[in-house]
Chain A
């Protein structure tokens, strides 16, 4: 058996010819498609079609031809090579787009505006001394606490209520729906909600219409720091609550019914059962939802950029980073802010790795 396998594993001439042809074909398809698309000459619809065909076929062809190439070798070597063929493309792309840039940004953050000479920690010093940077850091902290807190709290509340109502599915869909809306779209929606007219004209923004009907003066909701941050965060909460709701609602359903029954038989009130049994039971889900929303809040750029563009004291780290890089073209400071954001997420990286290690520990 072993011998026949060894014999079979030496490639025959037709196999080699086939391999060469497939490899040449792959290079031709992938290369010409790449150049055609890079030239950007086709109209939009054909570009899309060509891109999809090119993308799918060249990926399959690349895997196929590497597999054929590996098959030329004896089985023993083939088995050693083949895993790298499968993971190779993904690892290379992630290396280029995420891993190396992290290292390069770290490097750039120690250099000056145009990345020509080392300034060491000057950029970091700027981060923690400049007034507008300190405002950004303060605002980012407000975002993290309020944005995450409100989203998770309301999500949990609605999940608990929905389970005990007649309209569980419908209610969840309504609250979940904003998740599909872009941050910019949500920005426009809320700009309209917050619109203000002064000098006695009829209000077209709902919020001001409500307070003027109560006899109060119309407000410029986005103009007054630090409260305007809360009105921006409201948009974020509106978008993220649905996410918290869906995950927490699934967690609630997994709480064993017997535990709840036992608590009720012991005479525990509904509220006590919730606090003592249900919440501890779904703690893991609450933590994972909170971290996900924390990460989103930390990187939230679009809302601030499209609503106030950082004016009136609403700048956050992510919008400040964009401004430093693309408005002021200060690559040193921009990279330093990116590294600061990365340091902010590093506890989550550590936690995820630990979780994975405990859960998985590859066989």
Chain B
């Protein structure tokens, strides 16, 4: 607080700056607010009047958009006995699919990267410098470059269009960043901790599992949040490696993209769908912002 006072003493009055900032915040929030409000409005209202007029008439609010988006849109179909209602593709299954894709893609790289980081930070071996330099180079290699070669390998071994294939792909694409973040953290642990473990006669494996992994919890948390938001929001990798499996394994981003393509003017449904796709990363982000920021400041770039 003291520092702030000292800095603001000679600046424009703090109040004016605060007002300018509030304008920025409003500018940055309005787009999201627009779809949040629209997602609760009826189809007619959403397509005929602006969302900013919604609060003049509270009759036009509904939860039905979410019902339709989550559990499938209702279509009337004529058949032999008259008409019946069937429900279309649901966002709920895409939501579950996204969870299925995301969780293992976050967890699997952590252990592999932590072990590698331990090796690079504390063990000496031939080729260490060159291999670590290669990892630094791979940090920014665009993953576009891997799509075709990996897709070909997948077609050969039958991994295309399966969850296993996409977990391994996300693991591969996330590993340089994971190793780099873990290395930065693990190499900064005090050497004395390790030495005392070796004096007690533990092997490298026990030291790693019992000592290094628990101590690296902050770095693991940072990477996990990073990777979670990245994998959840990814569209390209799922589009390439999961589209072979059809609609069943579709993740939320791809489903939302398709909705935007096929019902681009059904704003009440599209906005509800967008909100369903955003809710989980938003919660993770707001809840664990501290770790996310820490990860960003550790110099995180992803290829």
- Inter-chain contact B142/A345, CB cutoff 8 Å: yes
Q: Does B215 contact A (CB under 8 A)?
A: no
> How big is chain B's contact interface, by range?
35 or more
Q: B119 to A191, Cβ gap below 8 A?
A: no
* Residues on B with beta carbons closer than 8 Å to the beta carbon of A86: 115-116, 118-119, 123, 204, 208
Residues of chain A in range 256-289 having any CB-CB distance to chain B below 8 Å: 257, 260-261, 264, 270, 288
Do A192 and B34 touch across chains, with their CB atoms under 8 A apart? yes
Complex contacts, B208 vs chain A, CB 8 Å? 63, 86
Assembly CA distance A299 to B303 (angstroms): 9
B71: chain A residues within 8 A (beta carbon): none
B21 lies within 8 A of A171 (CB): yes
Q: Chain A's nearest CB lies how many Å from the CB of B290?
A: 11
Closest residue to A91 on the B side, CB-wise?
B131
The B interface is mostly helix, strand or loop, or mixed, namely helix
A338 at the interface (CB under 8 A from B): yes
Q: Which of A186-225 contact B (CB under 8 A)?
A: 187-193, 195, 201-206, 209
Question: Is A334 part of the contact surface with B, judged by Cβ < 8 Å?
Answer: yes
Residues 106-121 of chain B, each 1 if its beta carbon lies under 8 Å from chain A, else 0? 0110011101101110
Interface size of A as a range: 35 or more
Q: Say which residue of B50, B132, B253 sits within 8 Å of A203 (CB atoms).
A: B50
- Is there an interface contact between A178 and B28, defined as CB atoms closer than 8 Å? yes
Known: A94-B138, A167-B22, A191-B260. Is A56-B111 also a contact (CB below 8 A)?
yes
**Is B285 an interface residue, CB under 8 A from the partner?**
yes
Q: Is the CB of B3 within 8 A of A83?
A: no
Partner of A188, one of B12, B14, B260, B296: B260
Do A90 and B49 touch (CB < 8 A)? no
- How far is B48's CA from A158's CA once the two chains are assembled, in angstroms? 36
Let me know if A292 is at the binding interface, CB within 8 A: yes
Q: CA of A105 to CA of B22 in the docked complex: distance in angstroms?
A: 48
Interface flags, A342-353, vs B, CB<8A=1, else 0 = 100100110011
State whether A250 touches B297 (Cβ < 8 A).
yes
Which of B12, B48, B104, B282 has the most chain A CB within a 10 Å cutoff? B104
The interface residues of chain B lying within 8 Å CB-to-CB of A59 are: 108, 111-112
Cβ contact within 8 Å between A246 and B293: yes
Task: Say whether, besides A45-B96, A59-B108, A98-B176, A164 and B120 are in contact (CB < 8 Å).
Answer: no
Q: Are B205 and A204 in contact (CB under 8 A)?
A: no
Contact of A164 among B17, B129, B284 (CB under 8 A): B17
Q: Does A143 interact with chain B (Cβ within 8 Å)? A: no
Contact with A along B157-187 (1 / 0, CB 8 A): 0110011100111011101100100000000
Whether A97 lies near B146 (C-beta < 8 A) is yes
Whether the Cβ atoms of B277 and A184 lie closer than 8 Å is yes
Q: In the complex, A191→B260 CA distance in Å?
A: 9
CB < 8 Å neighbour of B35 from A170, A188, A243: A188
Q: Of A51, A175, A301, A325, which is within 8 A of B24 by CB?
A: A175
Q: Is A12 an interface residue (CB 8 A)?
A: no
Digitize A88-113: 1 where CB-to-B-CB distance is under 8 Å, 0 elsewhere: 01110110111111101100100000
A139 at the interface (CB under 8 A from B): no
B21 touches A82 (CB 8 A): no
Separation of A362 and B32 alpha carbons in the complex (Å): 47
User: A181 contacts B297, CB within 8 Å?
Assistant: no
In the complex formed, the residue of B with least CB distance to A255 is: B7
Q: How far is the CA of A85 from the CA of B296 in the complex (A)?
A: 29
- CB pair A80–B171 under 8 Å, yes or no, is no
Q: Does A302 contact B (CB under 8 A)?
A: yes
The contact of A98 among B52, B108, B141, by CB within 8 Å, is B141
Bound Cα distance from A301 to B48, whole angstroms: 32
Question: Quick check: is A44 within 8 A (CB to CB) of the other chain?
Answer: yes
Q: Is B193 an interface residue (CB 8 A)?
A: no
C-alpha spacing A353/B112, complex, angstroms: 23
Partner of A362 from the list B31, B46, B129 (CB cut-off 8 Å) is B129
Q: Please, how many angstroms separate the alpha-carbon atoms of A356 and B7 in the complex? A: 34
A32 at interface, CB cutoff 8 A = no
A83-B125, A192-B267 known; A184-B235 Cβ under 8 A: yes
CA separation between A129 and B273, bound complex, in Å?
A: 41
Is the CB–CB distance between A98 and B146 below 8 Å? Answer: yes
- Give the residues in chain B near A349, CB-CB below 8 Å: 136-137, 140-141
* Inter-chain pairs besides A201-B48, A247-B296, 17 sampled, C-beta below 8 Å: A37-B162, A37-B164, A40-B164, A55-B108, A90-B175, A94-B175, A98-B172, A164-B8, A164-B11, A175-B24, A177-B285, A182-B253, A192-B34, A246-B293, A270-B11, A345-B140, A352-B136
What are the 10 closest A-B residue pairs judged by CB atoms, nearest first? Answer: A97-B172, A86-B119, A182-B233, A90-B116, A180-B285, A83-B125, A101-B146, A83-B123, A67-B205, A101-B149
15 chain-A/chain-B pairs, Cβ below 8 angstroms: A51-B100, A51-B103, A60-B209, A67-B205, A87-B116, A90-B112, A91-B131, A102-B145, A161-B24, A166-B18, A175-B25, A177-B285, A179-B285, A202-B49, A338-B148
- A residues with CB within 8 A of B: 34, 37-38, 40, 44-45, 47-48, 51-52, 55-56, 59-60, 63-64, 67, 71, 80, 82-87, 89-91, 93-94, 96-102, 104-105, 108, 158, 161-168, 170-171, 173-185, 187-193, 195, 201-206, 209, 238, 241, 243, 246-247, 250, 257, 260-261, 264, 270, 288, 291-292, 295, 298-299, 301-302, 305-306, 318, 321-322, 325-326, 331, 334-335, 337-339, 341-342, 345, 348-349, 352-353, 356-357, 362
